[in-house]
A and B are shown apart, each in its own frame.
Chain A
């Protein structure tokens, strides 16, 4: 039942990214048990009797004054994690073989991630890019950050072709703190080049998650008859493709590409996750949370 709210096709019928993000996150979170870990957030959790070795900074002196006993005041976990979502808006992201194209799916995912980060009081930021940086919202925990993010995501439009090198070089300058970098892209480029381009982020101590957004038709194209395909990023580039080729050789190539990207990403310390736009968003969120958990 809850999974239904995470279905991309259902989400597509909801107006407003904030509502979508809220629906996704609430639906997702409601299916999880609250984390048993306690952190440093401002949200009060409970009192616990002082035990030897506990940090005195957490002793509630007011309680000690009233009761003459030492109690520790516990809060829900809080980190100062900074999350930066990199949303690829190249032309290839506008492809979709079903009502939710890759761009929409990426929007949902990006907005859900931002919303969740906002819930966690993490500083969330956003970079929208194609062959250059289109929009940049620095990570922040300020009031209204989530709306700025959602607004930017909603306004993001499909650009031209992807070029990782230029935007990545560009936004490396903005990153001053270590954090979590989430890249949402279809990664139509040489895996070697992609990894090489993103590698510096990892070297600076960032956790990098690559969400490889692909349409099912891209993963396993099934044509009934020969098709004349036009490249979305290069409209002048067109090819007549036979169903047999799409069924056999293309699949081998895309699988090899995915595998190469996955292996190179893993080798570099990236987290790689393949997102099929026909599948619910929770897989992506779970991936995020597991990594977020690892940072606490």
Chain B
């Protein structure tokens, strides 16, 4: 027995009150006049007699009452050993890991056999459910007491390329327990991969009524080689300039030599040998990627001969395309802008765009529709007809980059967007040598976070009223430096200085090349898709304009990944298998998406036993805080019992006290 708040026991001093009242209180001998004392005797009254216990029972009751009240405040408790919980009506959940790592050896088969053996041991009428899990949980059977259905559910589990996620399994178990409102006895069959554990251990917290029994399948660390990563271009414009960088990793492996093969459209292109250190990584580079025009399926393979061959191949897709043409319009007397813009595009490494220069006079009869984008380099005095064509071009999805120079001051408006020109700002004239860019919108695709224009000196800029355009870069005086305005489906970017290294020194700075390259990609609608994605990634299938149009998706096995209904309605698709998905979009464009399994699955290192125990204990911890656990000592509060005794004593004291009072009254 103990006390939760033992300091209240100090209140036991209050017992002194009834002791004083009954035993120690001095008898008051106030002289009382009486008519005659002739019938009273001179008898010495014992002081002890005065102080005797007048009402022994009343005294005992009052003392006990105070003691019990003090005890009640001190919250007495006794340790009670809980009886083992009888889990009545519990559901046996068989959870089988079918992630990529379970393809190693015959792990999945072992897991299924062990699960079947466990199901065979279930008593008749005992209910169960089979689920398979990787990165998602699949319900293989409903909750049933038909054990053949459970066995069929186990048989139906197929290996997948998904990644293990014990957090997702835990979430599902919580949901099942809440929905069924019954305790779960979960038998987990998995290789207990360390990489399947979540970063936050709280995600593994089980409900109090979930009893987890992990069954580790072949959980010894096995050596495994894997093609961890392949760096390859998504698009190839010039095959001679391309290279492929391959990273091969080994887990729990001894040092070994591996043969790495680059394949393209199922043809072996090139092979190299690679020394992989023990438990480390090694890289090999293929210097050319001579791919035919169109979508190509690339792959890098190693001859690992380990227990998990599924991760020995890394898929990537490559599209061979011609460079897109872009129109660069300049004044006849100023070719400098063209020079710097062309040089910047060439320096970016990929010749995605080929510039077609033209003077303002030459544009009179030109149509911009065939160009990926149009650049007006200090060429604002274009013919109204061309300007009108540019407007239509932009509204239809085209893009224009306008660099404003001294010619802009001849007119009052910026072409196409009709922003008002307020004049030019010549820094030398205003006792300043130059201006700098003070603020950049790092969220804009042309200006990413690493863009730094701090040391660029702007001598002469054109001041314009932004109007509807959004300012994405400002000068130190707050005037706009770079603007972007959407018109219809297209964009117009306005740079309030020139690209010719005269009115600024921007072309000579490091930041110029990435700015031009990113701006060109942005304006040319050149997406930056990676050459491959991981299993579980999503891909958009249609834009808002293509609603209702059918999209055809072929999975790596060549089957249709979408049903007919999904083909017309699905907005996106999740890739669930490693390999190549072929997507035929409504606009007729075909794409090949390379999908690889998450390489974290290749690390077969199992979870430490302690961590597993901790996971199991999350349920027991919850139970001990809110419910009962088997054989646990639990404090049983005696507060209520003490208070009931206090109540009973108070009633008894009241009755007895009243009785004495009535005797006294009668005597009085």
- A positions within 8 Å CB-CB of B: 92-95, 102, 186, 188, 215, 218, 222-234, 237-243, 245-247, 249-250, 253-254, 257
How many residue pairs bridge A and B at CB < 8 Å? 82
Chain A residues near B35 (CB-CB < 8 A): 92-95, 102, 186, 188, 215, 218, 232-233
Q: Judge whether A245 and B41 touch: CB under 8 Å.
A: yes
Nearest 5 Cβ contacts at the A-B interface? A95-B35, A92-B35, A253-B39, A228-B29, A188-B36
| Distance from B35 Cβ to chain A, minimum over Cβ atoms (Å) | 4
User: Mask for B30-57, Cβ within 8 A of A = 1, else 0?
Assistant: 1111111111111111000110000000
Q: Please, how many angstroms separate the alpha-carbon atoms of A224 and B667 in the complex?
A: 7
Could you pull out 14 A-B pairs where Cβ atoms are within 8 angstroms?
Answer: A92-B35, A92-B36, A186-B35, A186-B36, A222-B667, A226-B29, A226-B50, A230-B34, A233-B35, A233-B36, A242-B43, A243-B667, A250-B39, A253-B39
* Chain B residues positioned under 8 Å from A230 (CB to CB): 31-34
Q: Is B123 an interface residue when CB atoms closer than 8 A count as contact? A: no
In the bound complex, CA of A110 to CA of B129 (Å): 111
Across-interface contacts of B37 in A (CB, < 8 A):
229, 231, 234, 237-239
Docked CA distance A4–B562 (Å): 113
CA distance A94 to B32 in the complex (A): 13
Please judge, given known A-B contacts A224-B667, A227-B29, A231-B34, whether A254 and B42 are in contact too, CB under 8 Å: no
Bound together, the chains give a CA A225 to CA B50 distance in angstroms of: 8
Tally of contact residues, B, Cβ under 8 A: 24
Neighbouring B residues of A186 by C-beta, 8 Å: 35-36
* A237 and B35 alpha carbons, distance in the complex (Å): 11
Central interface residue in B29, B30, B32, B38, by most chain A CB within 10 Å: B38
Are A226 and B27 also in contact (CB < 8 A) when A239-B37, A242-B49, A257-B39 are? yes
A294 → chain B closest CB, angstroms: 32
Please tell me if the beta carbons of B45 and A240 are within 8 angstroms of each other in the complex.
Answer: yes
Q: Report if B333 contacts A (CB, 8 A).
A: no
- Nearest B residue to A254, CB-CB: B39
With a cutoff of 8 Å between Cβ atoms, the chain B residues found around residue A228 in the complex are: 29-32
Q: Which residue of A lies closest to B38 (CB)?
A: A188
> Are B33 and A239 interface neighbours, CB within 8 A?
no
List residues of chain B with CB within 8 A of the CB of A222: 667-668
Residues of A within 8 A of B39 (CB): 250, 253-254, 257
Q: Complex formed: what's the CA distance from A188 to B40 in Å?
A: 12
B430 within 8 A of A: no
CA of A241 to CA of B31, assembled, Å: 11
Closest to B49 in A: A242
Shortest CB distance B77–A (Å): 44
User: Which parts of B390-438 form the interface with A (CB within 8 Å)?
Assistant: none
Residue of A nearest to B54 (CB): A225
Chain A residues closer than 8 Å to B28, beta-carbon distance: 225
Residue B664 CB within 8 A of the other chain = yes
Which of A231, A232, A242 is the one whose CB lies under 8 Å from B45?
Answer: A242
What is the distance, in angstroms, from B421's C-beta to the closest C-beta of chain A? Answer: 113
Contact of B27 among A92, A225, A232, A257 (CB under 8 A): A225
Considering the complex, give the chain A residue whose CB is closest to the CB of B29: A228
For the complex, what is the distance from the CA of A104 to the CA of B135, rounded to whole Å? 109
A88: shortest Cβ distance to chain B, in Å?
A: 11
Q: How far is the CA of A241 from the CA of B29 in the complex (A)?
A: 10
Q: Looking at B27, B31, B40, which has the most chain A CB atoms within 10 Å of its CB? A: B40
Q: Which residues of B contact A94 (CB under 8 A)?
A: 35
Contacts of A253 in B (CB 8 A): 39
Compute how far the CA of A93 lies from the CA of B33 in the bound complex, rounded to whole angstroms: 12
**CB-nearest residue of chain B relative to A214?**
B35
The answer to whether B36 and A231 touch across the interface, beta carbons within 8 angstroms, is yes
The answer on a CB contact under 8 Å between A224 and B664 is yes
Chain A residues near B49 (CB-CB < 8 A): 242
Q: Which residue of B lies closest to A246 (CB)?
A: B40
Least Cβ–Cβ distance between A261 and chain B, in angstroms: 13
Given the complex of chains A and B, what is the CA–CA distance between A225 and B663 in angstroms? Answer: 12
